Amino acid sequence: VAMAYLAWRLAQRWCPSSLQVISFPVVQLHLNRTAMRASQKDFENAMNQVKLLKKDPGNEAKLKLYALYKQATEGPCNMPKPGVFDLINKAKWDAWNALGSLPKETARQNYVDLVSSLSSSLESSSQVEPGTDRKSTGYETLMVTSEDGITKIMLNRPTKKNALNVEMYHEIMHALKAASKDDSAITVLTGNGDYYSSGNDLTNFTDIPPGGVEEKAKNGAILLREFVGCFIDFPKPLIAVVNGPAVGISVTLLGLFDAVYASDRATFHTPFSHLGQSPEGCSSYTFPKIMSPAKAIEMLVFGKKLTAGEACAQGLVTEVFPDSTFQKEVWTRLKAFAKLPPNAMRISKEIIRNREKEKLHAVNAEECSVLQGRWLSDECMNAVVNFLSRKSKL
Ligand SMILES: CCCCC/C=C/C(=O)SCCNC(=O)CCNC(=O)[C@H](O)C(C)(C)COP(=O)(O)OP(=O)(O)OC[C@H]1O[C@@H](n2cnc3c(N)ncnc32)[C@H](O)[C@@H]1OP(=O)(O)O
């Protein structure tokens, strides 16, 4: 019920504007387009095209498609209004009902138009999609560059505080795999804008697959395990340049980096209990080792936010720099590191890290399995709903 509520809140957030988009232009289109009518064949083609869309068009578009489809095939909404707790069906009913007495032919035409615009917009944004060698511009959520012996992977959703959406998880894995094979000596992860990263994108929780929330949680655990695994196995020196606040998984992963340089503006926050969740990124193992069990519990269980200075004192951060000179000082240092013999660095990292690898993979698997259960809990669902409905922030 909580997840249905969540989907409904999202639909509700989008619906006020989307209903205007549905009802107002639909009527206009009807007036302007008496001569342009989509045939039944066009309509059927559009229905098939929807199934072939390479990307999920999002809940707002799906609600519009649903409403137009129902209007085109059954006419005005004559179903009883779903009960107040039947949240998803109520959002669908609202969308359909908002079409009023729009004629079937117009709804059919609008459906065809909508599918056509979705196909072209999603098609064009997926031209840079998977498969071949991605260059910097081939990423949607990252900027990846390679120069002076350094591959820099920059999280690039500054307007969302570099929250990690599903695409970003995949792109980071792709970029790390490419960096492990390229001719750079070291690899750097950093953030664009004022944040390093605000952690997992909480809207990841809203896209529920046909198998429901259980399938969603299972897929999330698989993705997380693979994602963290890439950091455990990364063979070259991996350095975090923490340009601003870091939250959640962007903090826990730092225990798997080989050096962490932070601006004095950065903070380190893992509010897992607040979110009804539990630690990941192997932090249940690395943090107690790095900073003592008691300090790790303050962070991972009680959600204590550390300043950069405190994180450095606890051993999570290697060195802190004043924000005004941060970029200059850090990159000068990194360029010097990148001139060291790459094979020697690789082999030294291997000998330091390898004996822990098996343990880290086991910890990762266990953390993912615990989180899978947490994502289905009321505590977690309520926390996500509260954030998405703007009732809470960290
Ligand atoms: C599948 C793998 C799962 C791995 C498990 C990982 C767990 C974690 O990482 S737990 C940590 C999750 N992160 C959070 O709970 C942070 C939530 N965000 C916030 O509390 C705040 O946004 C803030 C403190 C990070 C920043 O606050 P403020 O400076 O006031 O900026 P805004 O809130 O206005 O943010 C701007 C814009 O960005 C969106 N946004 C920021 N962080 C997230 C996020 N984590 N998920 C989704 N969206 C995020 C925010 O909603 C704003 O969007 P618009 O309103 O559309 O402008």
- Report the distance separating Cα 267 and Cα 242, nearest Å: 9
CB of 163 closer than 6 angstroms to any ligand 1 atom: yes
pLDDT tens, residue by residue, 52-107: 776 667 667 888 899 999 999 999 999 888 765 456 777 788 889 999 999 999 99
Cα of 70 vs centre of ligand 1, distance in Å, is 35
pLDDT tens, residue by residue, 139-174: 999 999 999 999 999 999 999 999 999 999 999 999
- Residue entry with tokens 């008496």: 34
Cα of 76 vs centre of ligand 1, distance in Å, is 39
Strands ordered across the beta sheet of 246-247: 246-247, 267-269, 306-307
The domains of the chain are located at 40-120, 142-393
Q: Check residue 79 and give left, alpha or beta (phi > 0: left; psi -120 to 50: alpha).
A: beta
Looking at the CA of residue 272, tell me the nearest atom of ligand 1.
10
Q: In the chain, what percentage of residues exceed pLDDT 90? A: 67
Fold classified for 142-393: 2-enoyl-CoA Hydratase; Chain A, domain 1 (3.90.226)
Q: What is the pLDDT of residue 267?
A: 98
Q: pTM above the 0.90 mark? A: no
CB of 201 closer than 6 angstroms to any ligand 1 atom: yes
CB of 364 closer than 6 angstroms to any ligand 1 atom: no
Name the residue with higher pLDDT: 200 or 4: 200
**Model confidence at 346: pLDDT above 70:** yes
Reported as half-sphere exposure (CB side, CA atoms, 13 A), residue 212 has a value of 5
Looking at the CA of residue 393, tell me the nearest atom of ligand 1.
20
Looking at the CA of residue 201, tell me the nearest atom of ligand 1.
46
Fold classified for 40-120: Acyl-CoA Binding Protein (1.20.80)
Q: How confident is the model at residue 124 (pLDDT cuts 50, 70, 90)?
A: very low
> Strand 238-242 and strand 150-155: pairing?
unpaired
**Model confidence at 303: pLDDT above 80:** yes
pLDDT tens, residue by residue, 191-225: 999 999 999 999 998 888 889 999 999 999 999 99
CB of 203 closer than 6 angstroms to any ligand 1 atom: yes
CB of 244 closer than 6 angstroms to any ligand 1 atom: no
Q: What is the pLDDT of residue 91?
A: 77
pLDDT tens, residue by residue, 24-51: 222 222 333 334 578 888 888 888 888 7
Give the closest residue (by CA) to ligand 1 atom 53: 160
Cα of 247 vs centre of ligand 1, distance in Å, is 9
CB of 248 closer than 6 angstroms to any ligand 1 atom: yes
Q: What is the pLDDT of residue 23?
A: 28
Q: What is the pLDDT of residue 155?
A: 98
Q: How confident is the model at residue 131 (pLDDT cuts 50, 70, 90)?
A: very low
Give the closest residue (by CA) to ligand 1 atom 4: 200
How many C-beta atoms lie closer than 10 Å to residue 93's C-beta?
19
Q: What is the pLDDT of residue 259?
A: 98
3-state secondary structure labels for all residues of the chain? CHHHHHHHHHHHHHHHHHHHHHHHHHHHHHHHCCCCCCCHHHHHHHHHHHHHCCCCCCHHHHHHHHHHHHHHHHCCCCCCCCCCCCHHHHHHHHHHHCCCCCCHHHHHHHHHHHHHHHHHHHHHHCCCCCCCCCCHHHCCCEEEEEECCEEEEEECCHHHCCCECHHHHHHHHHHHHHHHHCCCCEEEEEECCCCCECCECHHHHHCCCCCHHHHHHHHHHHHHHHHHHHHHHCCCCEEEEECCCEECHHHHHHHHCCEEEEECCCEEECCCCCCCCCCCCCHHHHHHHHHCHHHHHHHHCCCCCEEHHHHHHCCCCCEEECCCCHHHHHHHHHHHHCCCCHHHHHHHHHHHHHHHHHHHHHHHHHHHHHHHHHCCCHHHHHHHHHHHCCCCCC
Please report the ipTM that was assigned to this predicted complex. Answer: 0.99
- Report the distance separating Cα 291 and Cα 296, nearest Å: 6
Q: What is the pLDDT of residue 11?
A: 54
